[in-house]
Amino acid sequence: MKVNWKITTVVAALFISMTGLAKEAKHLLEIGTEGKSLIFKLPAQSAETKISLFDPEGRIIFSDAVEDQEFYAKRFDLDLLEEGVYSMKVENTLREITYSIDIDEPSVEILAKKERTKPVFRKTEDKVFLNLLNLEGNSVSVKVIDGNGRMLYKEVFKGDLLIEKAFNFEKAFDDSYTLVVKDDQNTYYETIVVN
């Protein structure tokens, strides 16, 4: 009975998380019809979305931030750019999507699209709630470190699709605490100050 309850709870939590993510506006990157160009479209957004285009050496050649707009569209004219593999990063508080774009003499091609979700930290008074949708099933480490660099808490989640954790700082000493969430490729930080 307990196993069925746990499975039902996890499935319900995943469904709720996925429903929340599905409501987020989707963006679209497509190849333009004129010359070497790309067209990026972003429907209505309430949270800030950052858009960056990088050259083959990793230098930013275009950057923009979009927030509270009904619709955002941008045409990128790539005719004057040198041949090579460029990347475009679209990032908001929930996810980061990176496109690999190949520019050669006659054309432009979108080689790949890589998407990763970010942890969501929600603060209420002296509590911090952590949620992470771990679709790849990566090993995820969660730590709490105090202002002196001492590790107060550590837990490793292996293969969990949904990671949920609540941290209560109501009885903590006055200090600055850092939550560190690390997966196979990325590390995220959230700081809480207790006075």
Pick the closest to residue 176 from 165, 190, 166 (CA basis): 190
By mean pLDDT, which of 45-49, 83-87, 104-108 is the weakest? 45-49
* pLDDT(69) > 90: no
Indicate left, alpha or beta for 53 from its phi (over 0: left) and psi (-120 to 50: alpha): beta
Of 45 and 113, the structure prediction assigns the larger pLDDT to: 113
Entry pTM: 0.68
Domains (range + CATH), the chain: 25-117 (2.60.40.3080), 120-194 (2.60.40.3080)
d(CA 85, CA 43): 27
The whole-chain average pLDDT of the chain stands at 86
Looking at residue 18, its pLDDT comes to 45
By mean pLDDT, which of 26-40, 64-78, 90-104, 144-158 is the weakest? 26-40
Looking at residue 2, its pLDDT comes to 59
